[in-house]
Amino acid sequence: MKRIMNNRHFRSLIDINSKEFLDIIDKSIEFKNLDAKNEIPNIFSKKILVMIFKKNSTRTRVSFETAMSKLGGHAIFLSDDSCQLNRGEDISDTAKVLSGMADLIMMRTNSHEEIKELAKSSSVPIINGLCNLFHPCQLLADMQTIAEIKGKDLSKLTIAWVGDGNNMCNSYINASKLLNFKLKISTPHGYEPDEYTLDKFGKNVEMCELPGSAVDDADVVTTDVWTSMGDEHENEERKKIFKGYQVNMNLMSKAKNDSIFLHCLPAHRGEEIDHDILDSSHSVVWKQAHNRLYSSMALINFLLTCE
């Protein structure tokens, strides 16, 4: 084993504290400025990140792979159908083997339990690259984007979440506690966020019956797909249930004039967002997506250097 078993992991946002979250945002901005000057330092030469993807990805895979390369290291991509997990090898056995070879392990999977199991048996830090309950990596980029535009004191802000109470929504709840912003959530009945997360971390959350009440006077409006990966069989039913939860210009007009719109992407135009939202003056989604690269760098830096 290369490391003693006292690693920091990134299973969800609650693995970091408020100061560490703010430090990661600062570091992301620092990496972004350095990249603009082509001056990213080679600080992680010979470091290896193994990424196991049991679900599709564009941004998460490319941002972490690019981040490792730019920092001087290397990333190895494993799809579940190309590795032995798909043939019944235990997560814990996989963790023991991979952590003997790699310095970081990321996993995107349907089960948060698998992320926890991986972490339990790994001697190197684990990164949750998205699971059924959380998408903490995305929140690092979202909070960086909001901080860049609205300033670093997020506690002055009201953020509105409209749509499914899914993995992104749960991560927003965690972020609202850590960074102390007000989070107004509107979901259809039966699609509320995770109950435990809401109970334990929802002190700044207000649940709103109607999307209009959530968005009212908000600084930031955000949403996500109505059907997450793995729930495709519910797609048609969800389209009917979520119909009134589309973010469109009419809904955006209830938010502050200078409100910004975020979406983790991929988006489905005509479903959770109207066709014109992504390219409207409110939208910061391309900046948000590009920031995935810098927040991935900052997270790698945090996990490889923290005590």
The residues annotated with a catalytic role in the active site are: 108, 135, 138, 224, 264, 292
- Residue 34 has, within 13 A of its CA and on its CB side, a CA count of 17
Task: Give the rounded distance of the alpha carbon of 215 from its chain centre.
Answer: 21
For the CA atoms of 136, 141, 147, 148, the dihedral, rounded to the nearest 10 degrees, stands at 180
Q: How far is the CB of 149 from ligand NVA (least distance, A)?
A: 21
**Contact residues: ligand NVA, CB under 6 A:** 130, 135, 166-168, 224-225, 228-229, 264
Q: Under the criterion CB under 6 A, does residue 265 sit at the interface with ligand CP?
A: yes
Contact 295, 156 (CB under 8 A): no
User: How far apart are alpha carbons 292 and 31 in whole angstroms?
Assistant: 11
Q: Which does 224 bind (CB under 5 to 8 A by kind): ligand CP, ligand NVA, none?
A: ligand NVA
| Residue 280: alpha-carbon gap to chain centroid | 23
- 204 binds, options ligand NVA, ligand CP, none, Cβ within 5 to 8 A by partner type: none
| Contact flag: residue 54 with ligand CP (CB under 6 A) | no
Binder among 11, 54, 59, 150 for ligand CP (CB under 6 A): 59
Asked if 100 and 137 touch (Cβ cutoff 8 Å), the reply is: no
Pick 104 or 264: Cβ nearer ligand CP: 264
Q: Decide if residue 32 touches ligand CP (CB under 6 A).
A: no
Subset of residues 127 to 156 that bind ligand CP, contact rule: CB under 6 A: 130, 138
Closer residue to ligand NVA, CB minimum distance, 27 or 135:
135
Whole-angstrom distance, CA of residue 294 vs CA of residue 138? 11
Q: Which does 58 bind (CB under 5 to 8 A by kind): ligand NVA, ligand CP, none?
A: ligand CP
Q: Which two tokens stand for residue 204?
A: 């700044």
What tokens were used for 227?
């059907």
CB-closest chain residue to ligand NVA: 228
Which one of ligand CP, ligand NVA, none is in contact with 219 (Cβ closer than 5 to 8 A by kind)?
none
Helices (H), 155-273: 167-179, 195-201, 211-215, 235-241, 249-252
Which listed range, 15-23, 33-41, 56-64, 245-253, lies at the site for ligand CP (CB under 6 A)?
56-64
Question: Which of ligand CP, ligand NVA, none does residue 168 bind (CB under 5 to 8 Å by kind)?
Answer: ligand NVA
Nearer to ligand NVA, 158 or 227 (CB): 227
| Cis before 266? omega within 30 | yes
Out of ligand NVA, ligand CP, none, what residue 45 binds, judged by CB under 5 to 8 A for its kind, is none
Min dist. Cβ of residue 215 to ligand NVA (A): 20
CA 67/CA 300 separation, integer angstroms: 8
| Minimum CB distance to ligand CP, residue 288 (Å) | 9
- 60 part of the interface to ligand CP, by CB under 6 A: yes
Cβ(129)–Cβ(137) under 8 Å? yes
Minimum Å gap between C-beta 211 and ligand CP is 22
Closest distance of CB 247 from ligand NVA, Å: 15
- Residue closer to ligand NVA, measured from CB, 99 or 222: 222
Q: How many residues does the chain have?
A: 307
Which residues of the chain form beta strands (DSSP E)?
48-53, 74-79, 104-108, 126-128, 158-162, 182-186, 205-207, 220-223, 260-263
Residues 6+ apart with CB under 8 A from 244: 188, 211
Q: Interface residues with ligand CP (CB under 6 A)?
A: 57-60, 130, 138, 264-265
